[in-house]
Amino acid sequence: MSDKAVVLVSGGLDSSTVLALALQQGYRCYTLSFDYGQRHRSELEAAMRVSELMKVQEHKIVRLDLGTIGGSALTDTTIDVPEQETAGIPVTYVPARNTVFLSIALGWAEVLEADTIFLGVNAVDYSGYPDCRPEYISSFEAMANLATRAGVEGSKLSIQAPLIDMTKGEIISAGAALGVDYSQTVSCYQASLEGLACGKCDSCRLRIEGFNQAGIPDPTRYKNSA
Amino acid sequence: MSDKAVVLVSGGLDSSTVLALALQQGYRCYTLSFDYGQRHRSELEAAMRVSELMKVQEHKIVRLDLGTIGGSALTDTTIDVPEQETAGIPVTYVPARNTVFLSIALGWAEVLEADTIFLGVNAVDYSGYPDCRPEYISSFEAMANLATRAGVEGSKLSIQAPLIDMTKGEIISAGAALGVDYSQTVSCYQASLEGLACGKCDSCRLRIEGFNQAGIPDPTRYKNSA
């Protein structure tokens, strides 16, 4: 078994916590981010910062033009990011995003001969996103084991989603205990280039609530308080 | 059920035949190609030409920098394309390529509300590629139905790989019967910018043998005969 792991990092709170958990478990971590035409490009700066702070083996950014297929407020500038809670699958859902990201992580894992991929999906807070459910993750893992050289040659690839059943408050408590510096992470769907958060979108609202639940002061830099 | 289908087209012989089969079955076809850092960029020209000739609804090219993760002779210029048959999984295998391509097709299918994705994988000729096996395709389909809005809302997404059990000769016979103009397609792993084939790589050798098997004159333009 390899001690290498590919960790998907967005620069946000969840994936930074996952990275800390993977490192704590003794994995040599290779972090992967995507420049996919997202509005919130300060994410990528945060992903680089967090990867460097946590001393990963290597951080790669793959360019991928998901805006070409459209369909989401996060990649299509003609769709507004909602500033109130919405019912059903939100417009910020990017079609098949986790599947695309995991697939590319799978390719890199194959090149690195890593047996483990970590990602920060969470079924509690993102219950409206189909690709954040536990049955989806198991199904991707089964497919991945048929898709690759490793599958043919008999080793086993594992997809780890350690946050899947945790609340935002529990995630923040776990990360804080491992020393994650949340002031370096960006969650906002419409953060400024400098990484200042709006404090209003779904992602900001969940994050604010999470710090409240955890009873930890929120170190996020907001636009209004700037 | 929707009559829209997303069809993965590479500009090669197999995917052009799949497109002809999908059109014959009455689907409105949306073709998808990838600019993924491949050596054989004349593929993309061929994919555009074939999509236009076959009058598809729309053709999209998604940019995706697979060269970033390396690991294949098709995306890494430091690895030579072999000109003789090789044992095991060939170096031209691109890690997780079909998984990545199908995932992006899945995203576009979700945006278009299409229930069907066609791809031209073939288990007979590409038995060395893990992601060309029937059990892989079924497993991707199962995962896809958990990954998307459609899966949550109860419709069923189908992944069609009609060539999976056909020999190259049978594929060419089927396509020729449907009027596919194979002179417009490019299969060579190291074709020139004008689409001239080397006649030596695995892909060229399979194609030449296929025309022999089908008893159809090979319309391919080769570098040597130019």
Say what the ipTM of the complex is: 0.85
- Is the residue at B65 inside a domain? yes
CA distance B7 to B105: 8
Determine the Cα–Cα distance for residues B121 and B98; give it in Å rounded to an integer: 9
> For the purposes of burial, counting CB atoms within 10 Å of the CB of B168, is it exposed (0-12), middle (13-18) or buried (19 or more)?
buried
Calculate what percentage of chain B has a pLDDT beyond 70: 82
| pLDDT band (50, 70, 90) for residue B58 | very high
Q: Which of B31, B146, B155 to mutate to test the interface with A (most CBs of A within 10 A)?
A: B146
Residue B187 lies in a domain: yes
Check residue B49 and give its pLDDT: 94
pTM reported for the whole predicted model: 0.87
**CB-count exposure of residue B155 (10 Å: 0-12, 13-18, 19+):** middle
Determine the average pLDDT of the residues in B129-151: 87
Could you tell me if residue B149 is inside a domain? yes
CATH of the domain at A113: 3.40.50.620
Q: Is A226 inside a domain boundary? A: no
pLDDT of residue A170: 96
Residue A129 near chain B (CB below 8 Å): no
Report how far residue A197's alpha carbon sits from residue A203's, in angstroms, rounded to the nearest whole number: 10
The residue among B218, B221, B210, B200 whose CA lies nearest residue B92 is B200
Q: For residue B31, what is the nearest residue in chain A, using CA coordinates? A: A69
Alpha-carbon distance A108 to nearest alpha carbon in chain B (angstroms): 5
Q: How close A47 comes to chain B (CA, Å)?
A: 17
Q: Which residues of A51-78 are buried (b: 16+ CB within 10 A; e: fewer)?
A: beebebeebbbbebbbbbbbbbbbbbee
Three-state secondary structure call for residue A118:
strand
For B215, the token pair is: 């008893």
Q: What is the dihedral of CA A6, A92, B142, B59, to 10 degrees?
A: -100
Q: How many helices (H) and strands (E) does chain B have?
A: 7, 5
Largest separation between any pair of C-alpha atoms in chain A: 55
* A82 contact B CB<8A: no
Residue A115 lies in a domain: yes
CA distance A222 to chain B (A): 32
Question: One digit per residue, pLDDT tens: chain A, 226 residues?
Answer: 789 999 999 999 999 999 999 999 999 999 999 998 766 678 899 999 999 999 999 999 998 887 777 665 555 556 565 565 555 555 555 678 899 999 999 999 988 999 999 999 988 766 667 888 899 999 999 999 998 766 556 678 999 999 999 999 999 999 999 999 999 998 888 888 888 899 998 889 989 999 999 999 999 989 876 4
**CA dihedral (A63, A69, A70, A72) positive or negative:** negative
Phi-psi region of B87 (alpha: psi -120 to 50; beta: other; left: phi over 0): beta
Nearest to B111 among A70, A135, A147 (CB): A70
The residue of chain B nearest to residue A90, with distances taken between CA atoms, is B149
Q: Which residue of A has its CA nearest to B150?
A: A130
Q: Each residue of A95-144: pLDDT tens digit?
A: 788 999 999 999 999 889 999 999 999 887 666 678 888 999 999 999 99
Alpha helix (H) ranges present in chain A? 13-24, 42-53, 97-112, 134-147, 149-153, 168-177, 202-214
Q: Which domain holds residue B105?
A: 4-214
Give the model's pLDDT for residue B139. 95
In a domain, B225, yes or no: no
What is the rounded average pLDDT for all residues in chain B?
Answer: 86
Contacts A146 to B, Cβ<8 Å:
130-131, 133, 135-136, 139
Where is A1: in which H helix or E strand? Answer: none
CA B205, B210, B215, B218 dihedral sign is negative
Angle (nearest 5°) at CA B138 between B137 and B142:
115
Average the pLDDT over B106-123 and give the result: 92
Q: What's residue B124's pLDDT?
A: 76
Chosen for mutation from A92, A132, A139 (greatest number of chain B CBs closer than 10 Å) is A139
Give pLDDT, residue B226.
46
Q: How far apart are the first and last CA of chain B?
A: 48
**Is A147 within 8 Å of B98 when comparing Cβ atoms?**
yes
For residue A96, being part of any structural domain is answered with yes
Look at chain B and report how many structural domains it folds into: 1
Mean pLDDT of B156-181: 95
Interface test mutation site (partner A, options B104, B111, B127, B152, max chain A beta carbons within 10 A): B104
Cα(B203)–Cα(B187) distance, integer angstroms: 6
Mean pLDDT of B138-161: 84
Is A103 at the interface with chain B, CB within 8 A?
A: yes
**What's the rounded Cα separation, in Å, for the pair A206 and A200?**
10
Determine whether the interchain pair B147/A130 forms a contact, defined as Cβ–Cβ distance below 8 Å.
Answer: yes
Residue A223 lies in a domain: no
DSSP symbols for A166-208: --HHHHHHHHHHTT--GGG----TT--TT--B-S-SHHHHHHH
Structure tokens at A75: 């990649």
Tell me, yes or no, if A4 comes closer than 8 A to chain B by beta carbon. Answer: no
